[in-house]
Amino acid sequence: MNFEHLDPHSEELSAQLERDEHYRVLRAIPKPYCSMPNNGAPPDGKCIAIVDTETTGLNAATDEIIELAIMLVFVSDDGEVVGHFGPFSWLQEPQVELHPRITLVTGLTEQQLVGQHIDDEFATGLLDRADLIVAHNAAFDAAFIERRYPQLAGRSWGCSCREIDWLMLGYDGRAQQHLLAQAGWFSNAHRAGDDVWSLFWLLMQRHRDPRESVVRTHLARLIELSGRTTTLLQAERFPFSAKELLKARGYSWNPAGPFWQTELPPEKVDHEQAWAYRNGLPALTTRTITACERHR
């Protein structure tokens, strides 16, 4: 990982502190920079778009994007980064009054947004170039992106929050800034461009999963996970009394169904159906899920 932006003298002091079990050291991530081979020409390999949105609220059907940030990352077949540029970010004046709580969360004020507009042509060009779109809360960002840009509906998405097994990797929690701190770094938060860059930095950290034989980046791990085919099991027409049983089993409530659901590898579907039968529950409805349907 790049430490060139850090002061050498301060690093000596940090090294001393790190040897003391009573201290933990957090380092500031560097300012965003581009790294592209071949005089900037896009290299061969898969293209990943890392995105983040700031919005007027949580409902993609009624709320609006007020800030959008995108960066492109190019990776080789084994998931190693071979080039990256961005993030690019834009502000957007909303059609509604900005709630004070949104200002507290994002730091954006109505005065900052007046007359601002996202460069939709540039933004969609970047997203259309990507083989996979990544966000830390993909279900949230995908909903807002696809409402603004319906031509991008059905694109492949990966979620660094939900798809990476952070607990198995030795982390606790899933909040982006908390994960970054556990990796030894800190950054500004809640502005889209800052969040995109800090997510890229988090995904560039290398860690060994105890179930794997190699040390690799979280980005390489996420690309592999997002490419898998899984089965969504839907507990439809289930009695209310089964609520706690399903929650304990790891099912989550989908109000759009409405039903309880869980996502499993195909080889575990028969076992799950047998579990439902043993507990006197109706048969589970199933459908195949890929990165094009996941997080929707």
State pLDDT tens for residues 214-248: 899 999 999 999 999 999 999 998 888 999 999 99
Q: Return the percentage of the chain with pLDDT > 70, whole number.
A: 99
The answer, yes or no, to whether residue 152 has pLDDT greater than 90, is yes
H/E segment holding residue 186: strand 185-186
Reduced to 3 states, what is the DSSP secondary structure of residue 49?
Answer: strand
Is the pLDDT confidence value at 6 over 70?
yes
Of 36-40, 57-61, 72-76, 279-283, which gets the smallest average pLDDT? 36-40
* pTM, two decimal places: 0.91
- Residue boundaries of the structural domains of the chain: 31-226, 230-289
Predicted local confidence at residue 185, as pLDDT: 95
**Ordered DSSP codes for 86-154:** EEEEEE---SSPPPHHHHHHH---HHHHTT----HHHHHHHHHH-SEEEETTHHHHHHHHHHH-GGGTT
Q: What pLDDT score was predicted for residue 257?
A: 86
pLDDT tens sequence across 138-150: 999 999 999 999 9
Burial class (CB in 10 A: 0-12, 13-18, 19+), 13: exposed
**pLDDT score at 2:** 65
Residue 259: CB partners within 8 Å, gap ≥ 6?
A: 234, 235, 236, 238, 253, 285
Average pLDDT over residues 181-191: 88
Among residues 124, 102, 89, the alpha carbon closest in space to that of 195 is found at 89
Residue 265 pLDDT greater than 90, yes or no? yes
Within 10 A of 187 (CB to CB), how many other CB atoms are there?
A: 20
State the CATH class of domain 31-226: alpha beta
Mean pLDDT of 30-45: 88
Mean pLDDT of 116-136: 98
